[in-house]
Amino acid sequence: MGNADRHDHASSSSGPPRRSPTRSPTGASDPPALGEASGSGPGPTTTNTNDQIEADYSTDDDGFDASTTNSYLTSIASDVRRGVEENGHLYAAHGMHKTYLPIGGRELDRNALQHCKFTLMLEGKLFLAPIVAKPQNILDLGTGSGIWAIDVAEMYPSAAVVGVDLAPVQPSIAPPNLAFEIDDIEKDWLWGEDQFDFIHGRELIMAIRDWPRLVRQAYTCLKPGGYIQLSGSLPDFQADDGTLPPDVAYLEMGRIYFDMSARIGASGREVQNWKRYLEDAGYVDVVQHVVKIPTNPWPKDERLKKIGAFELAHFRDGIANVFARGYEDILGGDPVYLQVLLAKARQEVMNRGMHSWVPFYYVWGRKPE
């Protein structure tokens, strides 16, 4: 997602300020993990969840049934929709580059579903970075429906939270300490230096062409001691036990995604470079933590089973949005072939005999004091 006219807001209790006030006392929280715990010691750290997930070979569980219902789909109401309509989808009209994810109701549903999944992955946490105990200013990049920004504003009622995106699809009713802005985060940032305690960006799918520039701009806008955290999936489907055939359709969907993103200069593989980009920009205590997201409720562990149910619902009901504009526009592909491939992939991903998973990256780092 991308970004609303940026205004200079005066510091007040009624809304987020645009210039940095005095920094809060430091504090820390231990990050949870999905599978294996990550470290955040004094030096650059990489952690990966390499333990094989135990499969559940029974199929008469509630987790699997729940994955096929709408109870997992929580939509965020929005009363402002505008943009460019194309082939039945609405796209943001603002920004220096053409966007490839729609902004309509189905995409907002996908955002909400993903947020539920990510929160479950972190066992109720909204992030892993060990930020100060009482942050004063927080920025959410590519806020989308605003669901993460709303939750973090409620978690820290004394903090001024800004959610920025290319499209005004956020709800009109929000916490009083939260403001939404429409802007393009690939352009020059107008926020003040040393302003934010925490900058967050999650699943900025095919949205960023120049990640090194983005993390440098974030570095400038962070207070000394402030953190940036980026997170995103790498749809390179894998299985630890050889149960994923090489010719399945959803592997082909992953290859198409990587091809599309590379063609527009916003490679889907950039998540693997985030750690290096942060280190090159001068961040310290940089941590990379990689977890496994099951593609359906095949794991035996109950929490992983629920996460797999969310991922299944996301793939089955929402993944077409990622390809709706790009497959034809970028690759010149046949839309009929894409629909056949999607139908086959949706059927395959239901197979609990295939113990596949997708890597999800969390990378965070601190601006030195």
Question: 225 Cβ partners below 8 Å, 6+ apart?
Answer: 23, 26, 132, 197, 366, 367, 368, 369
Q: Per residue of the chain (369 residues), give pLDDT as tens.
A: 444 333 333 333 344 544 333 333 333 333 333 444 334 444 446 666 667 888 877 655 554 444 333 332 233 233 334 444 545 444 444 444 444 444 556 667 777 788 999 999 999 999 999 999 999 999 999 998 899 999 999 999 999 999 999 878 778 889 999 999 988 999 999 999 999 999 999 999 888 999 999 999 999 999 999 999 999 999 999 999 999 999 999 999 999 999 999 999 999 999 999 999 999 999 999 999 999 999 999 999 999 999 999 999 988 887 777 777 678 888 899 989 999 999 999 999 999 999 999 999 999 999 999
**Quick count: other Cβ atoms within 10 Å of Cβ 242?**
7
Q: Kindly state the tokens that stand for 52.
A: 């094989």
Contacts of 267 (CB under 8 A, 6+ apart): 258, 261
Upper half-sphere CA count for residue 127 (Cβ side, 13 Å): 27
What domains can be seen in the chain, in order of their start residue? 45-366 (3.40.50.150)
Q: What gap in Å lies between CA 310 and CA 304, rounded to an integer?
A: 10
344-363 b/e (C-beta count within 10 Å ≥ 16 → b): ebbebbbebebbbbbbbbbb
Helices 249-263 and 335-348 cross at an angle (nearest 10°) of: 130
Pairing mode of beta strands 222-233, 356-366 = antiparallel
Identity of the residue numbered 121 = M
